[in-house]
Structure 1
Amino acid sequence: MSLTSYLVELPILGKLTWDAMRDPIYDYIDYNKDVEAKIIDTPVFQRLRRIKQLQLSYLVYPGAEHTRFQHSIGVMYLAGVFSSHITTQLVRKLGGYDIDGYKADILVESSRVAGLLHDLGHGPFSHAFEEIILSNKSLRAKGLDNHEKLGLLLIEYTEISKILQEAEEKGLDNIGDVVRKLLAAEEPREPILRLYRKIVKAWVYPADIMDFLMRDSYYTGTREYGSIDYQRLIRGSYPAEVGSVYEHIALDTKCLGALRSYLNNRTQMYENVYFHPVTRAFNRLLSEVLRGVDEYLGLTEAVERLGEGDPSAYIKLSDEYVYAKLLDLKDQKDLPSDLREKIKMFLYRKNPWKRIGADHKIPLIALGGRLDPAILAFRYMKRWVKDLEQHVRSKISAKLGNRINEEDIWVDSNTLHPAPLSSLVEPHVFYVAHMRGGEMVDVKPYSIISFMVNEGIIPRIIVRAYASRTAIRDKELFRELGRIVDEAIDEFFNISTLAGGITL
């Protein structure tokens, strides 16, 4: 499937100069030299070459050295193919290139550029930076608490803003405004832009997620988990007119098998790659390191300066930058000795944590309720994880006394949800339709929860406990600790049978 097959129907895009680059996922990626190549060649976008896509997964999967740069270009391409397909349907239905006040070309090119720029604001080590640095009180108070907001600031305060302005002068009217609305954390007011935002991100199978599942599985060598029939999902998707507006995407019922496979494989990628136990342990170590070196490296300061209109310090931040600084800091005597030791463990892959007990996968069973229990579990995760950790520690203390300290134990909990939780803010965000003679009939909402229940796809919480390696050198203590932890976790979730789980 190629974008160029649609260009004859999009006159403005057809006048742009197009080229292609090779890619291991799509073979060839189309791009235009008038807007997209200029953005790609900016220093702020080139910075993404120095930020790994999978943070620390390369410590487990040696091939996982790919970057946010590659992923962003892939999302641009896939958003272009997806938006071109949807736009073609709208042009045919509406009988012209004006779609709710927007030119068809603008909607497609804005989707492509939004896909290209959607990860622009990521800091070094991506989500770890967001969880540790951007979540601190001072940055939250200033509204600088996620990479989406920082990405919009980087667009505003770098040459990308000028590139978008020049594109408008060449006939791509309002592209800058549309791109910003598609990238914003909040949904656009315009229904048609909410439709195109779903194509790029924040939906069940947007370009962002489809690309990272295929790309991440390719580079980690876990192709069996990232096998997604993206062409069938896109070809089977249509703009659904609901309440006289086009805001939703409907999937042909013949393509529900491809959706089922996508949801299952997404779960497998999260369980086996993104939440790999060794990776999670190193993420814990990285979090402690970032928190400790924040002031020395000026991480929070760089974000604050970006918020004030100066992006220069933030643009320097990357994985490579932090690694280089850590190599200097590891021997710096004015650093606390425990921080220097953590830096060395991080740099030289010395995992300070060992998993104890089993992986606990607690099913989250929906019994016809309006809300998905996994959403509730996710929403209140910090609260119940704290209670769970306290419960586990109290059981250990009661049975082992002072043989192990509380600070030597931590519990890691994550939600294994087949669908992106951010796409499930409403009970019905998913539409299906029967196709007859190229036209949709019987368009209706279909609860993604009901679909998963019918298909036997059950969300789960995965819980693991870890202990400090220095505290469990005794093998008998390690085995006993594992038994205690397993019993405590089962007791907390009230699991008495294999069918146990959290229900609504």
Structure 2
Amino acid sequence: MISDPLYGYAYFNAEFEEPVINNVLIQRLRYIMQLQTAHLVYPGAVHTRFQHSIGTMHLTGLMAEDMVSKTILFYGREALGGYDPHVLIEASRLAGLLHDSGHTAFSHAFEHGILWRRNIPRELSNHEKIGLFLIKHLLDELFDRADKELPGLKTLVYSILGEEEPKGFLRVLRWIVREGYYPADVIDFLRRDSYYAGTIEYGSILYERLYKNTYPLIEGDKAQVVLDRIALGEFKQYMYAKANMYEHVYYHSVCRSFDKLLYEALSLLDEELGLTSRVLGLKEGHLKDYLELTDAYMYGVMMHKALSEDTRLGYLCRRLLVERKPEWRRVGREVVVSSSKGLDELEKTLRLILDHDYRRRVVTGIEEYVLDKLKQWGFSREELWIDILDITPLPKSTIYPGGEEPAKIPTLLIGKRVSGEIVVSEEFNLLMEELPLKILVRAYVPRSKYSGELEFKMTNLLSAAVENALGIDLSAAEKVIKNIYSEYMSRDYSKYRITA
């Protein structure tokens, strides 16, 4: 067993899980931090992907065992697709353990800075695809041996982690691990990241109330999950917790500045260390070159450059590791476009999330508007960075249209258990309800060009630029509030003014 600050102890078995845990594929995650740059803002956030992987395995096991038991209770063992319950639970735990095994140095920053900016084959284009590739090359024989004792284990693990949509009850298992609205992966990283970052108010999730009030709904090969309506409040709390972690921790304005610096550093390091070549080399069987890319390895290289090189890369490394001063500094208050402020803002929010071309045009429009007004301050296009971020607690795998049901809008089935049956009472439209769904627009300037005078000016200028680019009135809701308050200002509310 492993002592864990969230769960007390996370248990593992010696027969199947310990050999996987002790494989280099998992052990290297000890040297990759869970959060790429957040530790520069939140010093406690130096936990690793190894800890998260162990936690996800543990929580996946709890959720899978609960769901398997309910499925047998409501539908009989035949609903499990012919698989043994123990094998299903074990496969889910192993999938939870391995779900992040494809990550490399700086995790998602490596995806943004290398995988998505280089000519990388589709089958290696993100950490999930790379992870499955590595699992098949490093653990295939181990799974073959395990299959002799747990028939079907290998197929199940690959099905849960694979790209092709599984059928029947296996779809529920994938939902539990990583693709549901509240999967083990996300629940663990929200609780763990908030714990280590010192922002525990954002990770307060009663996860047991969520999964114990979730039921399987199986009709032939079609399998879904239903949330009991008594847990709907906790689901909303979970969604707000996720949105808050993204807004205040993952997308903290200083973290974003460090991310931008890191992307440039990775591009320069690619020239020296052959980062792209190491990814491409996987297809030729050169796994070692990719596996050695951890935060520990890269920070060693970067610290050497920070202390000894008078180059652009050395300068960036000093900024990141020694001075802790990113080149870009946020100026002015961010502008928020929210789905809760009316139909116009709802439409623009969804378009900015779903249409990347539209998003780029909006960024260009905002930049041109702001730069035109900043001419007197001597700013050039290279000295303004407009950062647009979407804050949506919905998984990226569900919010984008397409897939098996192309027109399907993200919905959560709400229901009750009645006389041993699961009854669906409504389809909870996740884009229509009062859930956090918004766009943040921030402006940054080079640290050398920043001044206090710019703060107030940029706040007003950025708001006007966003209104101009989107064609909306951001103050419409404020005007309604002022009008209503003005209308009732003369009334006597003295007897109602109590502290309750």
The TM-score bracket by the shorter chain reads 0.7 to 0.9
Match of 1:379 in 2: 354
For residues 436 and 340 of structure 1, the distance between their equivalents in structure 2, rounded to whole angstroms, comes to: 65
- 1:206 to 2:186 alignment: no
Q: 1:222-261 maps to which residues of 2 (within 5 A)?
A: 222-242=199-219, 244-261=220-237
User: 2:353, 2:390 within 8 Å by CA — same for their partners in 1?
Assistant: yes
TM-score by length of 2: 0.88
Q: Residues 142 and 415 of structure 1: is their aligned pair in 2 closer, same or farther, counting only changes over 3 Å?
A: closer
Q: Residues 469 and 478 of structure 1: is their aligned pair in 2 closer, same or farther, counting only changes over 3 Å?
A: farther
1:365 Cα offset (Å): 4.9
For residues 120 and 101 of structure 1, the distance between their equivalents in structure 2, rounded to whole angstroms, comes to: 29
Match of 2:297 in 1: 321
Q: Residues 30 and 359 of structure 1: is their aligned pair in 2 closer, same or farther, counting only changes over 3 Å?
A: same
| Backbone CA RMSD of aligned residues | 2.5
User: 1:64, 1:220 within 8 Å by CA — same for their partners in 2?
Assistant: yes
1:157 Cα offset (Å): 1.7
Letter of the 1:233 counterpart: L
Letter of the 1:290 counterpart: L
Task: Give the secondary-structure state (helix, strand or coil) at the position aligned to 2:123.
Answer: coil
Q: 1:199-348 maps to which residues of 2 (within 5 A)?
A: 199-242=176-219, 244-330=220-306, 337-348=311-322
Identity of aligned residues (%): 34
Match of 2:134 in 1: 154
Match of 1:448 in 2: 430
1:104 Cα offset (Å): 1.7
Q: Deviations over 1:416-472 (max 9, x none)?
A: 11322322343154212112345322455332224xx2xx32410011110001123
Task: Give the secondary-structure state (helix, strand or coil) at the position aligned to 2:105.
Answer: coil
Q: Which runs of 5+ in 2 are unaligned?
A: 402-407, 479-500
- 1:56 to 2:37 alignment: yes
Letter of the 2:254 counterpart: V
User: 2:351, 2:358 within 8 Å by CA — same for their partners in 1?
Assistant: no
- 1:491 to 2:465 alignment: no
- 1:463 to 2:441 alignment: yes
- 1:134 to 2:115 alignment: yes
1:366 Cα offset (Å): 9.6
- 1:187 to 2:165 alignment: yes
User: 2:363, 2:388 within 8 Å by CA — same for their partners in 1?
Assistant: no
Q: Which moved more, 1:381-390 or 1:27-36?
A: 381-390
1:98 Cα offset (Å): 6.7
For residues 465 and 144 of structure 2, the distance between their equivalents in structure 1, rounded to whole angstroms, comes to: 59
User: 2:168, 2:222 within 8 Å by CA — same for their partners in 1?
Assistant: yes
Q: 1:38-53 maps to which residues of 2 (within 5 A)?
A: 38-53=19-34
For residues 13 and 416 of structure 2, the distance between their equivalents in structure 1, rounded to whole angstroms, comes to: 36
For residues 14 and 222 of structure 2, the distance between their equivalents in structure 1, rounded to whole angstroms, comes to: 31
Task: Give the secondary-structure state (helix, strand or coil) at the position aligned to 1:430.
Answer: strand
Match of 2:3 in 1: 22
Q: 1:439 aligns with which of 409, 413, 421?
A: 421
Task: Give the secondary-structure state (helix, strand or coil) at the position aligned to 2:331.
Answer: strand
Match of 1:168 in 2: 147
1:386 Cα offset (Å): 4.4
For residues 383 and 367 of structure 1, the distance between their equivalents in structure 2, rounded to whole angstroms, comes to: 20
Q: Deviations over 1:32-65 (max 9, x none)?
A: 1111111111122110011111111011111101
1:84 Cα offset (Å): 0.6
User: 1:251, 1:433 within 8 Å by CA — same for their partners in 2?
Assistant: yes
Q: Deviations over 1:292-323 (max 9, x none)?
A: 11121121111111122221111100111111
Letter of the 1:260 counterpart: K
Q: Residues 285 and 44 of structure 1: is their aligned pair in 2 closer, same or farther, counting only changes over 3 Å?
A: same
For residues 442 and 403 of structure 1, the distance between their equivalents in structure 2, rounded to whole angstroms, comes to: 61
Task: Give the secondary-structure state (helix, strand or coil) at the position aligned to 1:102.
Answer: coil
User: 1:396, 1:484 within 8 Å by CA — same for their partners in 2?
Assistant: no
For residues 463 and 217 of structure 1, the distance between their equivalents in structure 2, rounded to whole angstroms, comes to: 24
Q: Deviations over 1:201-234 (max 9, x none)?
A: 1121011111111111111111111111100101
1:131 Cα offset (Å): 0.9
User: 2:79, 2:169 within 8 Å by CA — same for their partners in 1?
Assistant: no
Letter of the 2:141 counterpart: K
User: 1:97, 1:103 within 8 Å by CA — same for their partners in 2?
Assistant: no
Letter of the 1:441 counterpart: V
Q: 1:80-95 maps to which residues of 2 (within 5 A)?
A: 80-95=61-76
Match of 1:362 in 2: 337
Match of 1:10 in 2: none
User: 1:363, 1:460 within 8 Å by CA — same for their partners in 2?
Assistant: yes
For residues 164 and 465 of structure 2, the distance between their equivalents in structure 1, rounded to whole angstroms, comes to: 40
Letter of the 1:355 counterpart: R
Letter of the 1:166 counterpart: R
Letter of the 2:441 counterpart: V
- 1:406 to 2:385 alignment: no
Q: Which moved more, 1:90-99 or 1:25-34?
A: 90-99
User: 2:383, 2:445 within 8 Å by CA — same for their partners in 1?
Assistant: yes
For residues 281 and 263 of structure 1, the distance between their equivalents in structure 2, rounded to whole angstroms, comes to: 26
TM-score by length of 1: 0.87
Task: Give the secondary-structure state (helix, strand or coil) at the position aligned to 2:477.
Answer: coil
Task: Give the secondary-structure state (helix, strand or coil) at the position aligned to 2:388.
Answer: strand
Match of 1:13 in 2: none
Q: Residues 251 and 161 of structure 1: is their aligned pair in 2 closer, same or farther, counting only changes over 3 Å?
A: same
Q: Residues 314 and 220 of structure 1: is their aligned pair in 2 closer, same or farther, counting only changes over 3 Å?
A: same
User: 2:334, 2:459 within 8 Å by CA — same for their partners in 1?
Assistant: no
Q: Deviations over 1:362-409 (max 9, x none)?
A: 11259899x987554222235424432443334323442571111011
User: 1:393, 1:409 within 8 Å by CA — same for their partners in 2?
Assistant: no
User: 1:389, 1:410 within 8 Å by CA — same for their partners in 2?
Assistant: no
Letter of the 1:182 counterpart: I
Letter of the 1:432 counterpart: I
Match of 1:101 in 2: 82
Q: Which runs of 5+ in 1 are unaligned?
A: 1-19
Task: Give the secondary-structure state (helix, strand or coil) at the position aligned to 1:341.
Answer: helix
User: 1:429, 1:448 within 8 Å by CA — same for their partners in 2?
Assistant: yes
- 1:353 to 2:328 alignment: yes
User: 1:354, 1:467 within 8 Å by CA — same for their partners in 2?
Assistant: yes
Match of 2:485 in 1: none
Q: Deviations over 1:59-83 (max 9, x none)?
A: 1111101111011111111111111
Q: Which moved more, 1:264-273 or 1:392-401?
A: 392-401
